[in-house]
Amino acid sequence: MVVSGNASEAFSRAIREIARRIGGEKVLTDPEDLIPYSIDASKRFEGAPWAVVRVNSTEDVAAVLEVADRERIPVIPRGSASCLTGAVVAKRGGIVIDLLPMNRVEVYPEDMVVMAEAGATVQKVDEECRRHGLMFPPDPASSKVATVGGALAENAGGIRGAKYGVMKNWLLALEVVLPGGRVLRVGEPTLKWRWGPDLTGLFVGSEGWLGVITRAWFKVIPAPERVVRVVGVFPDMESAGRAAADIRASGILPLGLEIMNAETLRAVSRATGIDLPQEGAMLIADVDGPREAISRLAESVAECMRRAGGEVTLSDDPEEMERLYLARKMAYASLTRLYKAVEIEDITVPLSRFPEALRRIDELAKRYGLPLPTFGHAGDGNVHPTICYDPDDEEQVRKARRLAEEICDVAIELGGAVSGEHGIGIQKIEALRRELRARGAEHYLDLLREIKRILDPNNIMNPGNFGL
C-alpha cells in the first residue's frame, strides 16, 4: 500500500474515524490482508486498495461513505469479485467495502417476494426460495459465489436467461447508500408500484459507480413441476445456432438454452473428467412447466434440433441433468485451469443473427490461430468466445488483443452489443465507445457524467469504470 502526500493524511484521518465509528476489527490495512482484494476473477486486472472495510450493516456502509466523501477517498464496493472485466479492482487506490458479511435472506412466500442483502449469493437466494416451493430465476454461471449486490451492479443474466431474463427483470426495490452517507430507498416490495420514473435502473448495471447497493427486494415465481433436458450434438456451431433460432421461432421458451463448441467440450472433459462429445457442438435445452405438458414441449424442442442436423437425447434423470448442468457451468473455470491466460468475451446479437455470429467467430478463430473455446446463452443471443493464449509470447498477446477487438466488432456490425452481462469495467471501455459511435449515441457517456456529478460530485465511487 502506497499513499503519498495530502492523500496519505486524508486517508489516515478517514481510517481512524471509520475504525472509531464502526469498530477497528472491521478495518484491514496490513498489506498481506489486502492482496486478495487486488484482483477480480479474471486475474487480468490488478489494483491494490489502501484499506478494506468489512461491513455488517447499512449503517456501517453509510459511515464509510460519509467519511470517504468528506476526505475525497475512492471507494470500491465488492462482493465475491466474480466479475471478469476489472470493475471491482481499485484502479486509483482507496477503500474497498467488503459486503460479504451482509448476507441475510428473507422469503415472504405469501407475497412471492424475497429480500436479500448485498453479500448473499445468488444461489443462496434461490435455495431459500426453494424451501417454500418458489424459485429465484436469475442463474449466472458463478451463482455459487456471485453476490446479489454484484449481480445487480452488473445486471447479470445466466443460464435461465433464455426464459427468465436478467436481474433487472425481477427487481422490485433497492436500498442504496450514496456518497456522503445518504441512504436511499427506491421502489416497493410489491408487484406494482409507481413513484414516477423508475430510478432502480440507475443503479442496476452501474458497477458500483454511483453508490453501494445494500439490500434488494425481488419478485419470485413457483418452482417448476418438472424439467426435461434436451441435448443435441451437432456437426458445427452454426447448425447448433440454427437449431436455437428455430426453437425460439417455434414459440417455445426454454428455461435454458446453452451452447458449447468442440474446444469447450474438450476442455471441460479434461478439467473435470465429465464424459462429453469431443467434436462438433452441443446445444442443451431445459424445458419446464406443468407435468402434463412437458413431454410434448420437450419433443417439439427435440424435433427442432433434429431438423438442424442434431443427434438428440432427452432426460429428466436428476444425476444426468446435474452432470450436464455442471459441464456448462464449469466452462470458464475449466479454461482457466488449462491455459496460462484467458480473455472471455461477452457479446450479444439479435436472435436472427446468432448463427451468423457463430460462423464469423469460427472464421476468426481459424484466421488468428489461437484457441477460441466458445460457449454461451443461445436463448438470448449472448455468446462467450474465450481467447486462450500465452501471456509470455508477445505475438500471441498482440493477436489476442486484436482478436478481442474483432469479436466485439462482429457484435456491433450485426446490430448487437459488446457486453451482455459481464459489464464494461476496464476491459470493454474502448469497445463500448466503438459501439456508441456506431449507433450515433456518443452523448450517452455525456449523460452518464451528468448523473455522476449529481449523485457523486466528488467522484469517490469506483472512479475509472466506464473510462470516466
Query: Tell me, which fold does domain 105-222 have in CATH?
Result: 3.30.465
Cα separations in angstroms, 117 against 75, 141, 160: 19, 20, 22
Tens of pLDDT, residues 104-162: 999 999 999 999 999 999 999 999 999 999 999 999 989 999 999 999 999 998 889 98
The reply to whether CATH 3.30.70.3450 applies to domain 224-328 is: yes
pLDDT surpasses 60 at 5: no
Determine phi and psi for 377, rounding to 5 degrees.
-105, 90
Tens of pLDDT, residues 162-193: 899 999 999 999 999 999 999 999 999 999 99
For the domain bounded by 339-462, which CATH number is listed?
3.30.70.2740
Tens of pLDDT, residues 85-98: 999 999 999 999 99
pTM: 0.93
402 HSE (CA, 13 A, CB side): 12
Contacts of 263 (CB under 8 A, 6+ apart): 371, 372, 373, 374
CA–CA dist 168, 78 (Å, integer) = 19
CA–CA dist 38, 81 (Å, integer) = 10
Query: Tell me, which fold does domain 5-100 have in CATH?
Result: 3.30.43
Two domains, one topology: 5-100 and 224-328: no
| Domain assignments of the chain as residue spans, ordered by start | 5-100, 105-222, 224-328, 339-462
Tens of pLDDT, residues 322-351: 888 888 889 999 999 999 999 999 999 999
| Cβ atoms of 271 and 387 closer than 8 Å | no
CA–CA dist 225, 5 (Å, integer) = 63
